[in-house]
Amino acid sequence: MLRNTLGIVNIEGTNVQFGDIMDHRGVQAFGFLGRYRMIDFVLSNMSNSGITEFQVYMPPKMRSTIQHVGTGKHYNINSKRGKLRLLNSATNPNSIYQHDIKAFSDHLHYIESSNKKYVLIAPSYFIYSQDFSKLRDQHIETGADITVLYKNVTDAKESFIGCQTLRFDENKRIVEFNENHGKYKNRPVSLEAYFMERKLFIELIHRANKISSLYWLKDILHDSVDQYKIMGYAHRDFVACINTVDAYFQTQLELIDRDTRKLLFKNNWPIYTQTSDSSPTLYGSLAEVKKSLIANGAYINGQVENSVIDRDVFIEEGVVVKNSIILSGVTITSGANIENAIIDKATKIIHPVDIKGSETSPAYISSYQNI
């Protein structure tokens, strides 16, 4: 158990490209599978691994993250033995200085005042289940200065674009970080989860600031491969990088399949989230639901197929929803036809419209719209 480790949830990097889609909140707070938020996975992994002290670095649009994470109680973060800090990563949303080194520097006193020997830094846009204590064990066994969690992927041409790939020497030491431009299919991809001593982390922050005011943590690691012993720990189960609209869309549809979900959700490894008092889902007499995930509090009286339906969604008679993500509080009435689409929260579709995207480019309707 990682009782002697400070857990840091990092902000999303430059490889996260959502444009104007869901731009009123950070990726951390994106709804996922009708029940979770993206940040639930990294916080649950840390909590399950025994970490009791947390720092969450939030994007400029942080309200949704604050509302969801709250005191951290639902992640088993006990205020008597643990500590959770929600930290603003950028006081000016329009500033170019919105990189992680700047955020760590602004709150360096919190990192320095921790009494933990180690630190684990990981972002929220990678989805997986991982016991981080296994990284610690290998870290100590190999005498590493830094241990990086990675995944050997077979779809690097289409996915993980902009993420870092790794090159190892014959002793399995990382000797190079490179950006993935989709040139090769099979690649070891960094999941941007780093385990090291806290003192070394502070040293890297200072070094990065001396080189450039625009440096990211991954930049200083790239520059330091010759100076530190950096080793990799391979994750062997399901991993998704949610850094584009297509990845957000396709990953959820992929996880509708029960066998695929079993690779992510483990019986002895709960993924915690904020629960609600919503009633069970109600199905009307005309409801037809096939191969879909339906959250509590929904009312279904139309056709739903291969879709993810979030909490408190209302789907009326005559509505058809296929291959779509419907976020919380959406109402769809009057015979609307929704296919290959993402409908953001609290939108009301009250006319018999067709909203259709494609499998690789879903249509998107922003939140709180009346259509």
Last residue of a domain, one of 205, 238, 264: 264
Last residue of a domain, one of 237, 264, 291: 264
The answer on 70 and 216 residing in a single domain is: yes
- Residue 249's nearest CA partner among 367, 340, 134 is 340
For 304, phi and psi rounded to 5 degrees?
-130, 125
Instruction: With respect to residue 246, please indicate whether it lies within any of the assigned structural domains.
Output: yes
The answer on 314 and 226 residing in a single domain is: no
| Domain region containing 209 | 5-264
**Residue 95 pLDDT exceeds 70:** no
The answer on 322 and 256 residing in a single domain is: no
- Tokens, residue 158: 């289409």
Query: Rounded distance, CA 102 to CA 105, Å?
Result: 5
Instruction: With respect to residue 221, please indicate whether it lies within any of the assigned structural domains.
Output: yes
The answer on 222 and 78 residing in a single domain is: yes
CATH of the domain at 335: 2.160.10.10
CA 30, chain centre distance (Å): 8
The more confidently predicted of residues 269 and 61 is: 269
The answer on 297 and 245 residing in a single domain is: no
- The model's pLDDT over 266-283, given as tens digits with 9 standing for 90+, comes to 999 999 999 877 789 999
Percent of the chain clearing pLDDT 90 (strictly above): 87
Report which residue type is found at 107: H
The answer on 124 and 58 residing in a single domain is: yes
CATH of the domain at 141: 3.90.550.10
The answer on 188 and 309 residing in a single domain is: no
Say which residues have a Cβ less than 8 Å from residue 104's Cβ, sequence separation at least 6: 57, 111, 205, 217
* DSSP at 320: E
C-alpha distances in Å from residue 71, one per residue of 63, 77, 82, 152, 199: 14, 8, 11, 35, 27
- The model's pLDDT over 123-140, given as tens digits with 9 standing for 90+, comes to 999 999 999 999 999 999
Number of domains in the chain: 2
Q: 288 forms bridges with which residues in the sheet? A: 303
- The model's pLDDT over 281-330, given as tens digits with 9 standing for 90+, comes to 999 999 999 999 999 999 999 999 999 999 999 999 999 999 999 999 99
The pLDDT mean for the chain works out to: 94
Instruction: With respect to residue 361, please indicate whether it lies within any of the assigned structural domains.
Output: yes
Query: How much is the average pLDDT of 227-246?
Result: 97
